[in-house]
A and B are shown apart, each in its own frame.
Chain A
Amino acid sequence: MAARIRLLQMAIAAVNIAIVALAFTSIWPFPHGDFKVDLPSASEVTWSYSDGIVHVTAPYSIDNGGFYDVSDLTLHYAVTNYSGYQLADQTIPIGDIPAGQITSSSIDFRFDLLRMFNDGALGMVFSDDLLRFAVDVSCQYTMKLVKFETSYQVSVPWDALVLGYGIDWNQSNLPDPPAFHHVPPYYLVYWLSTSDLLSGLPPAQVSLTVVGTTSGPSASSSTSIQLGGNYSGTVTFDPTLLVHYSSLDSIRYDVQVAGFRWSGTIPIPEWMR
């Protein structure tokens, strides 16, 4: 009887030692840092823009330094702007990572900013925004006995594509009918400040029309302005058209920047008329 009990004791002890070893080797890599999930920080997110499409990349890496293979690794991300508009939502099935290996890749997505703009979502073109990245990583470990899930949220600042625009009246010259003390040439200096993201893209097209009381056709002219910083352009008007004006009222503008097009009217200051 004693031998039987001793045998049973040894068998139970062996099973329990195996279970403790299994539990220990399953848990230990996580607090010890052998299993690491490096998700992108705000500074690691890179942007590019082309033809109305914003391309975002954010690197990540998963280091399986544990004892067992990682299986069913899935990465899901969703990107929304400050107002809750969803820019991206995707699930990336990565698969398995053998023990001791590192998987590195990047979150890579695009969103059509031009379509958003045309749909009336002007915010990200003219205003700074805060894009919220929600990244979820899930995987199984230790022969699928352990499930590991991590969520990560980071807000990445978004700089407006068009930071500012307008007419520099101090450097402009327009006629002052009916006295016409200002002599030609007549021109307007238009400034445009755009995001660095637009560097290298074709220049912006700016068309200006003088609005006022005239006996002839309206005076219009256009210029192109470089993108990706603070640049200005000069719009020169035909003086023969401006002499028909008995009074000047405002300037109507029509701007096209990297596919985005908008228009408006700016009143001419009193001192300039």
Chain B
Amino acid sequence: MRDRTRVSDATWTAFTEALRFVVVPIVLVNLVTNNYPQLTTAFMPDIKTYIIFFGGMITAASTLEASNKPGTWKRLLFGLTALAFVCMWMFVIFGGGVAHFTYGPYFVRFDMSKIVYIMLFGISLKGLLVVSTFSGNKHYLEEQERKRKEERPARRVRARPKPVPRGKPSGSAFSSMSKMAFEVSHDDTVGYAPAPPPPPPQSRSVQRTLAYKQCPICGARASLKETTCKRCGAWFSQDSFS
């Protein structure tokens, strides 16, 4: 979901920046040069090439900026790069602030380079925003990363494979009719013992393949053929006989 947002952000940025810095300026420059051919600036002869170049660079840098998460170094780098290209683009569009106009016997020179420098200063202020966004989100990203690292071991534990469900018992043994362990005590007390804590599934599956059985009273191991425990004399359940 997050990746898709980045992609759509980048696409939208590419579209809008191409419009703002390439398409619309070229249309405007065409209008101006067609209607006022007497107007000249330092970059006027190749103004469209400059617009396409710097506008393209702005679009590319802004797209790459938008495609990276806030707080990443890449986003900071591309953000500042885009800003630098916007400054160059602006300088070129305004011809460095010096324009000449020839109309009949009149020759007019208009030098507003100081205002252009002030405008460039205003644009470069956006750099503060880029840096501020970077520094703010960088802490957030670092915190997220730290949390992720902390949560990783717990996730590993949770990610262990689920126990294999126990297979259906074969035969018509009485013990198979109940999920509770059926025990026969050594003093002939017949009944259901309280359910022991469920053994880990692995051990249960291993138990099926073991070549011995365990006395439910004293826990001593005994051969599968044994009917009573040799240590305490308790009877083994009938289904434990092989």
Task: Give chain A's interface residues, CB within 8 Å of chain B.
Answer: 1, 4-5, 8-9, 12, 15-16, 19-20, 22-23, 26-27, 30, 39, 142, 145-154
- Taking each of A9, A19, A142, which has the highest tally of chain B beta carbons within 10 Å of its own beta carbon? A19
Smallest Cβ-Cβ distance to B111: which chain A residue = A147
25 A-B pairs with CB atoms under 8 Å apart are A1-B136, A1-B139, A5-B129, A8-B128, A8-B129, A8-B132, A15-B122, A16-B122, A16-B123, A19-B121, A20-B119, A20-B122, A22-B118, A23-B119, A26-B115, A30-B110, A145-B118, A146-B115, A147-B110, A149-B110, A150-B107, A150-B108, A150-B109, A152-B107, A154-B105
> Are A151 and B107 in contact, CB atoms less than 8 angstroms apart?
yes
- Is B228 part of the binding interface, using a Cβ–Cβ cutoff of 8 Å? no
Q: Quick one: CB contact mask for B94-134 with A, threshold 8 Å, 1 for yes?
A: 00000000000111111110110011011101101100110
Q: Which residues of A contact B119 (CB under 8 A)?
A: 19-20, 23
> Are B118 and A12 in contact, CB atoms less than 8 angstroms apart?
no
Smallest Cβ-Cβ distance to B119: which chain A residue = A19
Q: Which residues of A contact B115 (CB under 8 A)?
A: 22-23, 26, 142, 145-146
With contacts A5-B132, A5-B133 taken as known, whether A146 is within 8 angstroms of B122 at the C-beta atoms is no
> Are B109 and A149 in contact, CB atoms less than 8 angstroms apart?
yes
Give the distance in Å from the alpha carbon of A154 to the alpha carbon of B106 in the complex: 9
A231 to chain B, nearest CB (A): 38
> Are B112 and A26 in contact, CB atoms less than 8 angstroms apart?
yes
> Are B132 and A4 in contact, CB atoms less than 8 angstroms apart?
yes
The residue from A12, A20, A146, A153 contacting B105, defined by CB atoms under 8 A apart: A153
The 3 A-B residue pairs with the shortest CB-CB distance in the complex, in nearest-first order: A147-B111, A19-B122, A1-B136
Give the distance in Å from the alpha carbon of A142 to the alpha carbon of B119 in the complex: 14
> Are B122 and A4 in contact, CB atoms less than 8 angstroms apart?
no
> Are B111 and A12 in contact, CB atoms less than 8 angstroms apart?
no
> Are A12 and B106 in contact, CB atoms less than 8 angstroms apart?
no
Give the distance in Å from the alpha carbon of A27 to the alpha carbon of B94 in the complex: 12
The residue from A12, A142, A148 contacting B125, defined by CB atoms under 8 A apart: A12
Q: Which residues of A contact B107 (CB under 8 A)?
A: 150-152
Q: Which residues of A contact B108 (CB under 8 A)?
A: 148-151
> Are A16 and B125 in contact, CB atoms less than 8 angstroms apart?
yes
Q: Which residues of B contact A8 (CB under 8 A)?
A: 128-129, 132
Give the distance in Å from the alpha carbon of A12 to the alpha carbon of B115 in the complex: 17
> Are B110 and A152 in contact, CB atoms less than 8 angstroms apart?
no
B211 to chain A, nearest CB (A): 66
> Are B125 and A15 in contact, CB atoms less than 8 angstroms apart?
yes
Smallest Cβ-Cβ distance to B135: which chain A residue = A1
The residue from A4, A23, A39, A146 contacting B111, defined by CB atoms under 8 A apart: A146
A145 to chain B, nearest CB (A): 4
> Are A27 and B112 in contact, CB atoms less than 8 angstroms apart?
yes
Give the distance in Å from the alpha carbon of A4 to the alpha carbon of B129 in the complex: 10
- Taking each of B105, B115, B123, B139, which has the highest tally of chain A beta carbons within 10 Å of its own beta carbon? B105
> Are A151 and B118 in contact, CB atoms less than 8 angstroms apart?
no
Q: Which residues of B contact A145 (CB under 8 A)?
A: 112, 114-115, 118
> Are A9 and B110 in contact, CB atoms less than 8 angstroms apart?
no
Give the distance in Å from the alpha carbon of A145 to the alpha carbon of B112 in the complex: 7
Q: Which residues of A contact B140 (CB under 8 A)?
A: 1
Give the distance in Å from the alpha carbon of A19 to the alpha carbon of B118 in the complex: 7
Q: Which residues of B contact A152 (CB under 8 A)?
A: 105-107
> Are B106 and A150 in contact, CB atoms less than 8 angstroms apart?
yes
Smallest Cβ-Cβ distance to B120: which chain A residue = A19
Smallest Cβ-Cβ distance to B133: which chain A residue = A5
> Are A148 and B110 in contact, CB atoms less than 8 angstroms apart?
yes
Q: Which residues of A contact B126 (CB under 8 A)?
A: 12
Q: Quick one: CB contact mask for B65-90 with A, threshold 8 Å, 1 for yes?
A: 00000000000000000000000000
Smallest Cβ-Cβ distance to A149: which chain B residue = B109
Q: Which residues of B contact A154 (CB under 8 A)?
A: 105
Q: Which residues of A contact B114 (CB under 8 A)?
A: 145-146
> Are A151 and B106 in contact, CB atoms less than 8 angstroms apart?
yes
Smallest Cβ-Cβ distance to B118: which chain A residue = A19
Give the distance in Å from the alpha carbon of A103 to the alpha carbon of B132 in the complex: 51
Give the distance in Å from the alpha carbon of A9 to the alpha carbon of B139 in the complex: 20
Give the distance in Å from the alpha carbon of A15 to the alpha carbon of B125 in the complex: 9
Give the distance in Å from the alpha carbon of A15 to the alpha carbon of B128 in the complex: 13
Contacts A148-B110, A149-B110 supplied; 7 other A-B pairs, CB < 8 Å: A1-B139, A5-B136, A16-B122, A23-B119, A26-B115, A27-B112, A148-B108
Give the distance in Å from the alpha carbon of A5 to the alpha carbon of B110 in the complex: 38
Give the distance in Å from the alpha carbon of A5 to the alpha carbon of B126 in the complex: 11
B86 to chain A, nearest CB (A): 12
- Taking each of A20, A27, A145, A152, which has the highest tally of chain B beta carbons within 10 Å of its own beta carbon? A145
B31 to chain A, nearest CB (A): 14
